[in-house]
Structures are given as C-alpha cells and as structure tokens.
Amino acid sequence: MFEQLLRGVVLILDPLNFMAFFTGFVAGVIIGALPGLTSPMWVALLIPFTYAMDPIPALAMLTALYCGGTFGGSISAILVRAPGTPAAAATTFDGYPLAQKGQAGKALGTACISSSIGGLFSILVLILLAPQLAAFALRFGPAEYFALSLFGLSMLSSISAHSTLKNLIGGLTGVLLAMVGIEEISGFSRFDFGLPELMHGISFVPVMIGLFAGSEVFRQVARTGRAQLLTRNVSITLPSWAEIKQMRGTMLRSSLIGTYIGILPAEGGTIASFIGYNEAKRFSKHPEKFGTGILEGVAAPETANNAATGGAMVPTLALGIPGSGTTAVILGAMMIQGLRPGPLLFIQHADLVYAIFVAMFLANLIFLVVGLGGAKIFAQVVRVPTYLLTPIIMVLCVVGSYALNNNIADVWIMIACAVVGFYMGRHGFSAAPIVLGLVLGPLIEVNFRRALIIFSNDVTPFLTRPYSALFLFLTVLGLSWPYLRQAWADRFARKKERPGMTGAAIEE
C-alpha cells in the first residue's frame, strides 16, 4: 500500500496533473462560497472539458473541486448567512451569530481547521478500510435507510433553540413540501395544482437559499442601522490552541459520524452535518448556547460534512454506488473515461485509485493553509456597508436559484421562501427544521414504500432487522431526549435541595 500511495503522490505532483488538481480546488472554493452554485452542478459542467484529458488529471480536478466546494460553502454561510452548499446549512446556526458578534475570522478559522480534520480523517479511513466499510454498507436495505432517515428527522426536537413544537411543525412542513410533484413509486403527481413547473417537485436549493439568505436580506433591510453598527467591529483573530483543544471531542465525534454517513449511499454531507451538529449539542455541557454563536457549533457540522466527502467515495469507488450527489456525477465522469468503478478498479487501475486518494488528501491540506491564511481576508466582507452587501446577496440568490434548472419558477419559490422565512423568524420559528424535513422527506417515503413492497406490507421486519430496530430505538430516544434531560435535571436539583432541607428540620 505504501508503494502505491507513493506512486499516487508522484502522479499528482506531475506539473500538468497538479495544475488540473489546483484549478479544480480553487474553482471548488469559489463555487462553494457562492449561494446556490452547488458542487454537483459545476462538476457536471466541467465534465465536457475532461473529454480530451487523461483519466488522472480529469478525476484529480473533479475530486479537488468536490473537496474545495464542501469547504467553500462555509464562507458565505458564516459571513452572510447564505450557505454556499446544502451541506453548509447547519453552519449558519452558530457561524453567522459569531460574525454578528465581530468574530467572523475566528469562525472561519474554526471552520477551516475542523473541515481539514474531518476531511483528512475520512481519507485515511477511505485508504485503510474501503473494502470492509463498503461491504458493511451493502447490508443496508430500504428498511434500514427508512429507519436512518427517520432517526435524522427525530433531530427536529433539538435541532434549534426554539420550542420542540415549533420545530416539529417546521419539519412536517418540509416533509409536505418534499411530497410535491411526481411520486417515485407510483408515478402519480401530487399537490402540483396543475402547474407544470411543480410536476418535478420543489427543488431543495431555492428553498434553502430563500429561507436562509433571502430572509436575511429582508431582515437586514428592516434593521439597517443596527446591522451597519455590527459590521464596524470585526475581530480577525483565529481560534487559539486552547479553544481548538476544547473542541477535540466534538471534532472526533463528527469525523466518525460524517465518515459513516458518507459511506451510506445517497446520504451525503447535508445529513451528516445536521446529525453532527445535533450530537454535539446533545453531548454538550451547555446545549442552551448552541444557536447563539459558539465555536463548537461551527466545528461540529463542518467536520461532519467534510468527513462525508471521503466516506462518500468508498461506495463510489469500491461498489460503483454513489455516496452523494457529487460522487454520482464523478461516477459518470469515470465511466466516460472508460473506467468501471467496483472491486476490479482497485486491481486494474490501482495507480488511478491511489492518485484520487492523494488528490483528496492534498486538497484537505491545502485548504487548511489557504483557509487559515485567507480567514482574515474573508472576514473583511462583513465590513462592506449593508446597503451594498444586501443587493449583492439578493442578486446571488436570484442567480443561484435560476442556475439550478434554468427555471424562473425556482426564483419565485426562492422569493416566496424568503418572505416566509422572514415572518417565521419574527414569530420564533427556525428555518432549519423545514430544510431537514425537505431533505429527509423523500428518503423516508420512498424507502418506506420499497420496504413494504419487499415485505408484502408487513411492518414487523422493521423491528426484527437489527440495524433498522437500532435506528428506530434511537429515533424514540431522540424525540424523548429533551424531556428525559429536563426530568433528570429536575431530579438532580431536588437531590441538591434535600440536604439543606434536612438540616433546617434538625435545627427546628
């Protein structure tokens, strides 16, 4: 293995190959930072340019774009509350409040360090355990994917600082939006009101852009004076070693979560980031601070979504099953190059496989340097006057929504979601549950229907299959966790009061 890795390093450091790799990396960071311009879209746009290239520079460029784009999404998520990629949506919860406090540089530095740690961890797992982990992921069927997605939806109870009831209402609204359009199993169209634009459903990207970035534009316009005051005091300090050391448990946990979720086909970094954020909040000694602007709330989702990049390549390379939307496009690019992903790929094209490993490893190292060096420069964006910044963000929102499908209907959906998000914020509702419901809704419905078909409408296998039963148990635990935690806190408080009461009784 060491000789193959060394061969991969030599191949990537070839001048032409490295130029292609670095071009893809820079493009990924820039594209990731622009709201709505997602990595899958740009990987797909770059594929025609790879036709005349050899497989190694072509795939090095695409995988570097994949890694760079995942990190780049955190830049706009932190600075202007407009996640550049869906996987960065959870980063806005604490990243943007930190920027409002004048700690944009520290938030960006934390995102950079945690992203690099998560990415490097997943690449090491990819190199060492790809065949074994891919075989384990093969054990998952529709019942397990349904239970896993339902477990993800159970995070609604604690995904934001708002009330559990409001979170559940928002999540169910997202699931309802996910049901618009043609149903995958039966082929019938639902809730489209006879509009051709809604037959294929409501796209995730315009909803995300509207709820996060568009609503923030309206909020900034409504409070221009206060927003301008906040942007004058910007800290450009990076996180200290002591602060990074305090987050090591969160980073390790999110690295494990992101890698594992990435390995599961079609789950991807978005779900990994939400689960990583939720678990960091659940294990925290101060969960009430999440959502108010703490570094741990940035480190958790950024570590998880970057760890998912390496994990997603495991089923892509070893099985030919894409682990995310971007790896699905990369899979197509490999087939265009005449390569067939699967177990034989490691035997017939070992040099190419290890060149991909090295390219992803180098990408995570480089954006550690670029991110730390550029965090202070990126942080200056919040110094831009509000009357200049808000129109720019709105233009990016419109362009990002339209560019997805070249459909003006997506722009109207984005604007509608921006208005809804603005009034939701005024009444104490969070946008995160809607986004989570929209992501997980199709996975829950389709896998539940498939499982029922396989099991002849018998629901008992959901409880008898070990992994499915485990995730269903975790779902119940996740929904009841806030109440169990409160009950435990009340019981602990009563125990602390008892000694004092006993002493007072003795004195009497």
Per DSSP, 201 falls in state -
Three-class SS state of 490: helix
pLDDT confidence of residue 237:
64
**Measuring CA to CA, which residue among 47, 102, 107 is closest to residue 371?**
107
**pLDDT of the residue at 136:** 67
Answer whether 35's CB lies under 8 Å from 78's CB: no
Residue 99 is which amino acid?
A
Q: Which residues contact 468 (CB under 8 A, 6 or more apart)?
A: 143, 144, 146, 147, 461, 462
Residue 502 tokens read as 């006993």
Q: What is the pLDDT of residue 230?
A: 40
Give the pLDDT confidence of 231-290 residue by residue, as tens digits: 444 455 678 888 888 899 999 999 999 998 888 755 567 788 888 998 998 888 888 888
Residues of the chain below pLDDT 70: 1, 34-42, 44-45, 130-131, 133-138, 155-163, 223-237, 265-268, 319-325, 343, 374-386, 389, 404, 482, 496-508
Give the C-alpha separation, 219 to 413, whole Å: 18
pLDDT per position as a tens digit, 192-202: 888 887 887 88
**pLDDT tens string 360-416:** 999 888 877 877 776 666 656 555 666 776 787 788 788 878 876 778 888 898 899
Q: Left if phi > 0, otherwise alpha if psi is -120 to 50, otherwise beta: which for 407?
A: beta
